[in-house]
Amino acid sequence: MKAAVVPAASSSWQIKDVPQPQPGAGQVLVKMHASGICCTDVHQTLGHLPGQFPRILGHEPVGEIVAVAPDVTARKVGDRVGSAWIQSTCGRCEWCQRGRRMFCPCMKGTGGEAQGGHAEYMPMNADATYLIPDKVSYEQAAPIFCAGYTVYSGLRWADPQPHERVAVLGIGGLGHLAVQYAKAAGFETVAISHSPDKDKMIRELGADEIVRDGKDLAAAGGADVILSTSNSTKAMNDSIQGLRPDGRLVTMGADAEPIGLSDRSHLEAYSNNWQPAKRPRVSIRGAGLRGPGQSQIDNRDVSVSWGREGLSARCRGQDPVPRCAHHVTAGARRSGPWRLANFASSAKLRIATP
C-alpha cells in the first residue's frame, strides 16, 4: 500500500510503498477514506512528541472496515468508522482504573506509537473505533476525531452548570466547533473574536453574543467558563479579565509562552465588576500528558490564594513527575508575577471567592 512516511525527525514526508498491515487480535483493518491534518502532525514531524521514526502519522482517520480479526464481534466488514487519539492503554495502572486513560504511561496513540491514518489502510483496535452515521460524510467526520474531541473534552473539564455562561476564545478550527457544542448543550454562548469578518458565520453557528476581548467580555457580564482554543498566550491572558468569580479557563490551544496571572490588578478586576469578591481565591488544576522522553505523566492540583503577603501556593496529591515544581512549591509565597507554565491542554484555572 502507499503511505505518507516521515523517515526521520524534521524530514519531509515521503510517499512510499509499504507492506499492507493485517488486523491483529482485537483489531479491524480500515480502508482510509479521509485522514485529517492538524498542527500536532507538525510537532510529531519535528520530533516534539514521543514516537519512533520512521512513522506514519494521522490521528483523524476515518474509513470503511474491510477485514476483522476472528475475535472481534462488535464490528463488521462494511462499517463506517473512525478512531481518536487513544488506540490502547494497559487497563491496570492507577490512571486507567480512575477512568483517565489518557494519562496511562503505556498508552499507544494513533499516529504516535501506533500507525496513523495517512495511508491507504490502517489497523485500528476495534474497541477504539466509533461508528459514523450514514448521513455524515467522511470529510466531515475526520476532524471531529481531533478538533471536535478536544473541544468537547474541554467543555466536560469545565463542568459548566445549567445557569452558567460559556465563552469561546478564538473562532477557528477548534473554536467554531466549541461554539456549536456549547450552544447545543443549552448554555448561553459568547464568542471572543478579533475578526469582524467572521461575525456573520459566528452568529450562524449559534453564538448569542460576540465580543472582541476580555475587557468587552467583562463589560458584557463576564463568563463562568472560557474555552480557549487560541494559540496566543496574549489573548488568553487578556480573556481572564472577563472570567467571573469561580470561573474556569480551559486551555485547548498551545503556545510556547506561559499563561501569566500577572499581578494584583487582574484579581482586583473581579472585585470591581462582581461584588463582593474582595479577596478572590485562585486555584489551578493542571493535568499533563506525557512529554518527550517521559515514561510517566504529571497531574498536579494547586490551590493558590491572594493574601496580604502575596500569593500562597499549596500543592496536593502525589505526582509521578512534578513537572511544574519549579514554578509551584508547597507553601511558597510570591509577591511578584505568578506564571503558570508547563500545563497541558487540559489545564484549568479557577477564580473563586471565599
Closest of 194, 242, 249, 246 to residue 215, by C-alpha? 242
pLDDT at site 262:
52
Contact partners, residue 350, CB within 8 Å, separation at least 6: 246, 247, 248, 282, 283, 284, 285
What is the per-residue pLDDT across 95-124, written as a single tens digit (0 to 9) for each? 999 998 989 999 999 999 999 999 999 999
Higher pLDDT, 331 or 196: 196
pLDDT at site 191:
98
Q: Omega before 143 cis (within 30°)? A: no
Which amino acid is it at 153? Answer: S
- Say yes or no to pLDDT of 324 above 80: no
Contact partners, residue 197, CB within 8 Å, separation at least 6: none
What is the per-residue pLDDT across 230-259, written as a single tens digit (0 to 9) for each? 888 899 989 999 999 888 899 888 777 777
Contacts 24+ apart (CB under 8 A), 22-25: 22/67, 22/123, 23/67, 23/68, 23/69, 23/72, 23/123, 24/69, 24/123, 25/69, 25/71
Take residue 201 and report the three cell numbers written for it. Answer: 458565520
pLDDT at site 255:
75
pLDDT at site 231:
86
Residue 201 phi, psi (nearest 5): -65, -40
Single pTM value for the model: 0.77
pLDDT at site 354:
35
Phi/psi-derived region of residue 53, left when phi > 0, alpha when psi is between -120 and 50, beta in every other case: beta
What is the per-residue pLDDT across 130-169, written as a single tens digit (0 to 9) for each? 999 999 999 999 999 999 999 999 999 899 999 999 999 9
Take residue 321 and report the three cell numbers written for it. Answer: 513527575
Helical ranges in the chain per DSSP H: 39-45, 94-97, 138-141, 147-158, 175-184, 199-205, 214-219, 233-239, 264-273
- Say yes or no to pLDDT of 295 above 90: no
Higher pLDDT, 307 or 194: 194
Averaged over 253-278, what is the pLDDT?
Answer: 56
What is the per-residue pLDDT across 48-83, written as a single tens digit (0 to 9) for each? 888 899 999 999 999 999 999 999 999 999 999 999
pLDDT at site 261:
64
Contact partners, residue 219, CB within 8 Å, separation at least 6: 211
Contact partners, residue 6, CB within 8 Å, separation at least 6: 13, 14, 44, 45, 53, 54, 55, 56, 57
pLDDT at site 304:
41
DSSP 8-state code for residue 147: H
* Residue linked to cell 501556593: 313
- Say yes or no to pLDDT of 190 above 90: yes
pLDDT at site 256:
72
- Spatial contact of 147 and 173, defined as CB atoms under 8 Å apart: yes
pLDDT at site 246:
84
Take residue 226 and report the three cell numbers written for it. Answer: 472560557
pLDDT at site 328:
33
Higher pLDDT, 258 or 223: 223
Closest of 312, 318, 317 to residue 331, by C-alpha? 312
Q: How confident is the model at residue 175 (pLDDT cuts 50, 70, 90)?
A: very high
- Say yes or no to pLDDT of 170 above 90: yes
pLDDT at site 253:
80
What is the per-residue pLDDT across 3-54, written as a single tens digit (0 to 9) for each? 999 999 999 999 999 999 999 999 999 999 999 998 899 999 999 888 899 9
- Say yes or no to pLDDT of 278 above 50: no
pLDDT at site 329:
31
